[in-house]
Structure 1
Amino acid sequence: MRNRHFFFFDILLLLATPFLALVLRLETFHLHETLFFVPLMVYTLCAVIVYLCSFYITGVYSRYWAEASIHEFLSSCIVIVMCSLVLIAITFASRIYFTQSTMYPFVYLKNLPLSVPFIHSILTLLAFLSVRFSLRSAQHVHAYKAASNGGRKTLLIGSCNIARTVMKNTLKTNHVYGFLDDNPKKRGMKIEGKPILGSIDSIASVVEKYHIEEVIICLPDLTGMVTQKIVTAVKKYKIEVKVVANAYKIVASNDFPAYEIRKINVEDLLQREAIVFDMAKVQEQIQGNTVLVTGAGGSIGSELCQQLLSLNPQKVILLGHGENSIFKIHKKLQKQTSVELIPVIADIRFPHKMVNILQQYSPNIVFHTAAHKHVPLMEDNPGEAIDNNILGSYNLLQACVQSDVEKFVLISTDKAVNPKSIMGATKRIAEFFVHWTARKYDRAYVCVRFGNILNSRGSVIQTFEQQITEGGPITVTHPDMERYFMTIPEAAQLVLQAFSLGKSGDIFILDMGNPIKILDLAKNLLALHGIGEDEIAINFVGIRKGEKLYEQLNYEKELCDKTTYPKILHVNNTTSPFTEAEEVIAKLKQLRDENQKESIVNFFRELIPEIEI
């Protein structure tokens, strides 16, 4: 049995408190042997049996009282009250039913005053809780003294239940000075003995006054703007800023012990209000179906496959031309699901191969994430950009039509809007072919336009991280360069939601808020690493081929309407510049083989008048 020391204490308690209750009732220590002493012994025996059995059955001796909470307090009160009612019932019954010698020894209870069980229950409750919660207090005092002497000086942002849980657990290693909270009604109050020192706006002065070494953000409704404000305010002090991961989910599930504290990352600086998706609607269309994902080993493709598994598809086909990336994602997902996973090594540039694969596995749904995406590289290899991004997409679309694929989603980019690069132009023409195919064959084939994806393979974040690790300098193309950003999970969720909303030839974009300057991103990364801007230089190297200072999400002629989800926009007025695809495809194949950039750009201008190359 755990808590044996409490078990033996309870025995002593239950032997002593009936006597004390009777003494308080009679206001004397002199008890008449027959009149009161024998009834007291019978009552004490009953109390020991009733209480100890109840404590054991209800798990009182399996609880960790050093971390007892209001739950333990209330449950203990309920158990003791129930035991008291049983003893009161026994005492009361002795006066009515236990009057004959055959009911020995209960017959003696008739002499016991009825008030004794009431007094006894109060004394038992006070003694029971005092001993147990004094242990909890002693543990906290010991932890507080230990943390005060050698722990990191810590400040908590927020004062919700998560913050309280974090404080209790960090007291063992950290010296928590208090909380910051924007609720004016809480100003000057204390939580678990720790003061609320001010609002979030006062963080710099609090950090300086108390020489804070670590800040932990415990806000369930945390936004990128608030995170940015906190990081910027403490940047000059070079202290560590951490966050409770997925705090809003913890609050929603009421599972406060299951939290994780991690360092702030660049995604936290971008974090917007949580977008509420109708995953039930998505699951309704995914469940039981076979889904094929191209580029399944890439950043978006792998996250998309991960999220698909929770929607109960019958099969997921992981298609890609890089064997290592497909091998890795296949092994990773196998550990997480019983859904059938089919890894396929293939290249979308080969039309017959695409037809064979789709007819062999008969997918109902295709998500097309495979593409060449590096702008400067595609400027030097325009033929490859045509072959993969346009002709590969066309091959896949035709195979989908021949195999009666019901739904198709193309991953496009904001670089397809008024394109200044070969890559952007190829993605715009791929959008045209999706629209043309959807309208010609009356299929639910749609496009989704993304901004830049944070921490995707080869992204600017990874470049900056490597440069910081190497000691700098950080290279930024232009001080005014800015981009729209979204996280990898956001991108995958947008794809799934667009899939559920999409009809014939639709284009969807995510309302990504305001664009972010690349220079600010570099400065924020330095701050997150605790590095001052005077320690690592930021050099401007000039705009690269194909790049624009600013990106746009839609053309001027395109109208954006809100969907049932406020953060997802539907693009109207998109049409294909051709009525038949065969001649366009033949010309693109010719240009691919010739690989002459000037000829390619001239033909692109015929299809995309807004092109800026």
Structure 2
Amino acid sequence: MDTIRTTRKYILMIADIILINVSYILAYWLRFNFNIPSHELVIFKNNAIIITIIYLLIFCFFKLYKRLWSYASIDEFMLVVNACILSNLLGIIYSFTLVPRIPLSVNILSGMITILLIGGFRMSFRIIKRYLDARVKHHSGSSKRVMIIGAGKAGTIIVNEMKLCSEVNYLPVAFIDDNKYKVGTRVAGIEVMGTRNDIVKLAKSLSIDEILIAIAAIDGATKKEIIDICKETGCKVKLIPGIYEIIDGKVTLNKIREVNFEDLLGRDSVKLDMEGISDYIEGRIIMVTGGGGSIGSELCRQIIRFKPKEIIVLDNYENNAYVLQQEFKRNGVNENIKYVIASVRDKDKLDLIFKKHRPDIVFHAAAHKHVPLMEDNPSEAIKNNVFGTLNLVNCADKYKVKRFVMISTDKAVNPTNIMGATKRVCEMIIQSMDKRSETQFVAVRFGNVLGSNGSVIPVFIDQIKSGGPVTVTHKDINRFFMTIPEAAQLVLQAGVFAKGGEIFVLDMEKPVKIYDLACDLIRLSGYIPNEDIEIKFIGLRPGEKLYEEVLTEEEGLNQTAHKKIFVGKPTFDDFDTLMVKINEFRKIVEKDDREEIVSKLEEIVPTYRRFEAEVAMTECV
């Protein structure tokens, strides 16, 4: 390898020596109208070696012999220009010491010609490489024909990299851009062939394999509209990163990602009241239970932005806590984070933890959440969700925590499953304890979280990768969805409005049909639903509803200062009666008697209707 590098360096030097001297000869030729006086040639001949050495030394100083010119960019070309200008200036200074000297006009002309010859010679390596790579790609049956949506800076960067990298099997074929003035022009050598209205037609006529959306500053609604059009083509669809990575110059082919269902929600990023959140987070000790889970870990990532005094990550599962710990260590933000392995069921251990760390704010995200599993393990749902929450609430009250925010679920509304019923009991604990405590207790209720552990999206993606079938419980079933960052940010925002006893409801906009979700993911993977990938209906699972709700009838709905957060009025405040019933659970749970557990839940939560789930299941299978 060293031999090849050295040989290449000497070849470039020899070429430069020739081109430098040719530049001066051409300059003389132009200066003297194609008839160079013999005495002028003698002057140049006597000084050619010195001038050449000046150029070579400057070229070495600019490290022109250590660059791979087949991958040269405008930066390398400007380096050549600067090196030639400096060399020419030094050459002019040297010529003034001569008697007789080289004419100034010859020196200036030779400098300009040197830039053209030296720069052109080096850039020719890239031109030749690009030409050869293009021929290979055009004649290669394995190259993917790509349509790029967005003929702006991001699209230009991506196309240039596709052309530059022979290792990638992308062949850019056409640009699409909604700016009609660009249509018919060429960007990075690729024609802008139409607007978004032409995507389907052009994808078919040009035999496009993949569509790349390369618009950095794109809002959620526009992204969704374009993706919806792309779904009709049957092509695989991919995206580039967002605007900040474009600004940082980090857009490369390996940053291109698959379209995921978050892109199909068509939402813009949540705008936070940074000052309000900072007021109750900054400089305080924050505890996050379930801190290693999907929501808990994202809460920790968001909280760290607001400069808390300390974060206590409490989790029963050491692997989750370890993964989060390593992430924060890599990002250099691990100094004020403590990791505590403990279960919310362990009342005595929780008391010690609260006594030691004295948290100011508690975000309670620890819970058993999987509906079918909790149907089969009702005693565990009671122990973890109900008793665990009660343990935390009592500790928060005892140690005078300022604010306690519990993560709840839309399944707590008119529940038809044990998990939802236990979370409704947790809400009742929160609301009733708030009436007798100095701590502000509130709950935040939202639906399914995209990408969380065990959620439907990763399951569908794995099924698609395996060739199907994709399993859907019922064709009409729908769910509210949020992204993990959305959920965590809105939980923090809801804490700003907490006065005590509220149940905050996060606006998840329109519910999404799970069948449509499955079809979209199949299409965006480049397949046709029920042709390439089968969609199989397997019937509702125990405790599962066709439609989720976010409020009970009596809770009502009021707008907060944030357009994405609503608040329901408190509906339960009888803490003593609730405690009597919850304490009766302890003996029932010890016996692990499902029927008694369900009966007690029906007694505590009047809106819990297990028979509705069973009837619905029978009708839908």
Q: 1:76 to 1:436 in 2, by over 3 A?
A: farther
Q: 1:348 to 1:121 in 2, by over 3 A?
A: same
Asked if 1:584 corresponds to 2:582, the answer is no
Q: Secondary structure at 2:411's aligned position in 1?
A: helix
Q: Secondary structure at 2:362's aligned position in 1?
A: strand
- Residue 20 of structure 2 is aligned with which of 5, 9, 14? 14
Q: Give the structure 2 partner of residue 518 of structure 1.
A: 514
Q: Secondary structure at 2:138's aligned position in 1?
A: helix
Q: Is the 2:497–2:560 contact (alpha carbons within 8 Å) kept by the matching residues of 1?
A: no
- Aligned ranges for residues 76-475 of structure 1 at < 5 Å? 76-88=80-92, 94=96, 105-109=97-101, 112-150=102-140, 151-171=143-163, 172=166, 173-222=169-218, 238-244=234-240, 246-257=241-252, 259-270=254-265, 272-277=267-272, 290-306=285-301, 316-323=311-318, 325-326=320-321, 329-330=324-325, 337=332, 338-339=334-335, 342-379=338-375, 384-438=380-434, 440-443=436-439, 445-465=441-461, 467-468=463-464, 472-475=468-471
Shift of residue 373, structure 1, vs aligned partner: 1.8
CA distance in structure 2 between the partners assigned to 1:54 and 1:288 by the alignment: 56
CA distance in structure 1 between the partners assigned to 2:465 and 2:87 by the alignment: 65
Shift of residue 260, structure 1, vs aligned partner: 1.3
Which is worse superposed, 370-379 or 132-141? Answer: 370-379
Which is worse superposed, 289-298 or 309-318? Answer: 309-318
Q: Give the structure 2 partner of residue 597 of structure 1.
A: 598
For residues 526-572 of structure 1, the C-alpha deviation after alignment (integer angstroms, 9 at most, x for no partner) is 324444333444344554454443334445654443546x5x42x34
Q: Is the 2:368–2:419 contact (alpha carbons within 8 Å) kept by the matching residues of 1?
A: yes
Q: Secondary structure at 1:179's aligned position in 2?
A: strand
- Structure 2: which amino acid aligns with 1:157? I
Q: Is the 1:454–1:487 contact (alpha carbons within 8 Å) kept by the matching residues of 2?
A: yes
- Residue 23 of structure 1 is aligned with which of 16, 22, 29? 29
Q: 1:79 to 1:497 in 2, by over 3 A?
A: farther
- Residue 69 of structure 2 is aligned with which of 59, 65, 69? 65
Q: Is the 1:591–1:599 contact (alpha carbons within 8 Å) kept by the matching residues of 2?
A: yes
Q: Secondary structure at 2:559's aligned position in 1?
A: strand
Identity of aligned residues (%): 35
For residues 244-287 of structure 1, the C-alpha deviation after alignment (integer angstroms, 9 at most, x for no partner) is 2x233312423334851233333333352233446687678656
- Provide TM-score, normalisation by structure 2: 0.82
Q: 1:60 to 1:339 in 2, by over 3 A?
A: same
Q: 1:478 to 1:534 in 2, by over 3 A?
A: closer
Shift of residue 220, structure 1, vs aligned partner: 1.7
Q: 1:236 to 1:572 in 2, by over 3 A?
A: closer
Q: Secondary structure at 1:184's aligned position in 2?
A: coil
Q: 1:236 to 1:327 in 2, by over 3 A?
A: same
CA distance in structure 2 between the partners assigned to 1:4 and 1:304 by the alignment: 58
Q: 1:71 to 1:498 in 2, by over 3 A?
A: farther
Q: Is the 2:432–2:572 contact (alpha carbons within 8 Å) kept by the matching residues of 1?
A: no
In angstroms, what is the RMSD of aligned CA positions? 3.7
Shift of residue 224, structure 1, vs aligned partner: 6.0
Q: Secondary structure at 1:216's aligned position in 2?
A: strand
Shift of residue 148, structure 1, vs aligned partner: 0.4
CA distance in structure 1 between the partners assigned to 2:50 and 2:277 by the alignment: 61
For residues 178-232 of structure 1, the C-alpha deviation after alignment (integer angstroms, 9 at most, x for no partner) is 2222221211111121111222332222221122222222222456666666666
CA distance in structure 2 between the partners assigned to 1:39 and 1:74 by the alignment: 31
Q: Which runs of 5+ in 2 are unaligned?
A: 1-5, 589-595, 614-621
Q: Is the 2:179–2:195 contact (alpha carbons within 8 Å) kept by the matching residues of 1?
A: yes
Shift of residue 354, structure 1, vs aligned partner: 1.3
For residues 291-347 of structure 1, the C-alpha deviation after alignment (integer angstroms, 9 at most, x for no partner) is 432223432223434555666666544323345544555566555544365443322
Q: Give the structure 2 partner of residue 97 of structure 1.
A: none
Asked if 1:551 corresponds to 2:571, the answer is no
Shift of residue 106, structure 1, vs aligned partner: 2.9
